[in-house]
Amino acid sequence: MEFIDPALLAYCEAHSSEEDPVLKHIYRETHAKVLMPRMLSGHLQGKFLEFISKSIQPKVILEIGTYTGYSGICLARGLAAGGKLITLDINDELETMVRGFFEMAGLSDRIDYRLGNALEIIPSLHEQFDMVFIDADKANYMRYYELVIDQVRPGGVILADNVLWSGKVIPEAGKKIDKDTQVILDFNKMVQQDPRVENILLPIRDGLMMARKK
């Protein structure tokens, strides 16, 4: 994931609005107590998610993959008055920690945190989404996308994380493409060829695909 020059990344973070105390706390706690802390969105990507959300002012956001709640808090800060974030995760071991972070951020009443299999939960949701953030198991990215696309309003945005896959989307000469990388390549190709959206792939952190529904 760390394929962008660390000094350049540090410069970008130093010239972006500061990470607030709540997010700094979540960052520290995640790195101290949770496995695979690299899954955390972090300062630069989190600020981008917050910036986009505040620009759109969505009424309903769907997040697939809560982890420790960092990205969800960033997204929820841009909600329109009366809006809500529905965030889904399969890992119930982090529930107490995550709910505590949402409470600390003052967003518990605006975040609908659901535990379970997203592939089963999404079909039960009947809201129209203004924004969707996909950041869960990569093997199901295409399924998540197809499950949500019809419920995204025209002009709504779908974001998908990790679409540069630590730079592996550009294969080394003579090296076989592994299964996980192929999944990301297939997802990126599908979005690129989808006539229902216009899209841009941004080299932020591990890559963000941003698709706007026509």
Task: Specify the pLDDT at position 170.
Answer: 92
Question: With bands split at pLDDT 50, 70 and 90, how would you rate the model's confidence at 179?
Answer: very high
| 5-61 pLDDT per residue, tens | 889 889 999 999 999 999 999 999 999 999 898 889 999 999 999 999 999 999 999
| 127-165 pLDDT per residue, tens | 999 999 999 999 999 999 999 999 999 999 999 999 999
Percentage of the chain beyond pLDDT 90 is 87
CA atoms within 13 A on the CB side of 43: 16
- Residue 40 contacts residue 73 (beta carbons within 8 Å): no
Amino acid at 199: N
Task: Specify the pLDDT at position 5.
Answer: 84
Task: Specify the pLDDT at position 33.
Answer: 94
Task: Specify the pLDDT at position 3.
Answer: 67
pTM: 0.95
Question: With bands split at pLDDT 50, 70 and 90, how would you rate the model's confidence at 173?
Answer: confident
Task: Specify the pLDDT at position 70.
Answer: 98
Task: Specify the pLDDT at position 176.
Answer: 87
pLDDT reading at 169 higher than 70: yes
Helix crossing, 6-14 with 42-56: angle to 10°?
40
Q: For the chain, list the domains and their CATH numbers.
A: 6-213 (3.40.50.150)
Task: Specify the pLDDT at position 1.
Answer: 57
d(CA 34, CA 183): 26
> H-type helices in 34-178, by residue range?
42-56, 70-76, 95-104, 118-121, 141-148
Residue 36: other Cβ atoms inside 10 A: 8
| 60-89 pLDDT per residue, tens | 999 999 999 999 999 999 999 999 999 999
Distance of CA 76 to the CA centre of its chain: 12
Q: How far is CA 142 from CA 113, 161, 186, in A?
A: 23, 13, 8
Task: Specify the pLDDT at position 2.
Answer: 62
pLDDT reading at 175 higher than 90: no
| 184-212 pLDDT per residue, tens | 999 999 999 999 999 999 999 899 999 99
Residue 129 gets the label, from left (phi > 0), alpha (psi -120 to 50) or beta, of beta
Task: Specify the pLDDT at position 109.
Answer: 97
